[in-house]
Structure 1
Amino acid sequence: MTTIYKLKDGDRVVATSPADFLHQLRTGSRFDHSGTDTEYMHRFARRLQELEGYLVSTESSEAFLADLITHGFVVEE
């Protein structure tokens, strides 16, 4: 099943799973797409904490996506 996720900045990510969401988020990044998906997830979480003031889980792609949705950074369409 494919899901469309709308990001806070208006971009959309089309993904088949939380791991695919993370991969698409990294490869679609304009500024930070190097390294592994896991490394990107950790950098992304740190940036969110600095810029938005909240922590998101980096335990797994599932927890990461769930926290992004909980905090309103991502909306499932």
Structure 2
Amino acid sequence: MIIALNTGMRIGEILGLSLDELDFDNDLIYIKHQVQKSNYNHEYNMDKVIVIYNKAVYNLDTPKSQSSMRIVPINKDCKEALM
């Protein structure tokens, strides 16, 4: 919740974060991935599937648009929550 409130990131973007996308030296997050939900019967790439739960598939993928791939500055509170 702290990350979302301090950065404006969507929940899927936060869940898709990996350590190599966090730059604590420059207080930045590089948004390159997000977790997306699909229906169980939807076509999906099993290489990207994280979990199948309650008739839904959650997969890690790049954002739907290029503008969603961005760099977000983080403040002290957000940095502490991530560390």
Task: Report the TM-score when normalising by structure 1.
Answer: 0.27
Q: Which of structures 1 and 2 has the bigger CA Rg?
A: 2
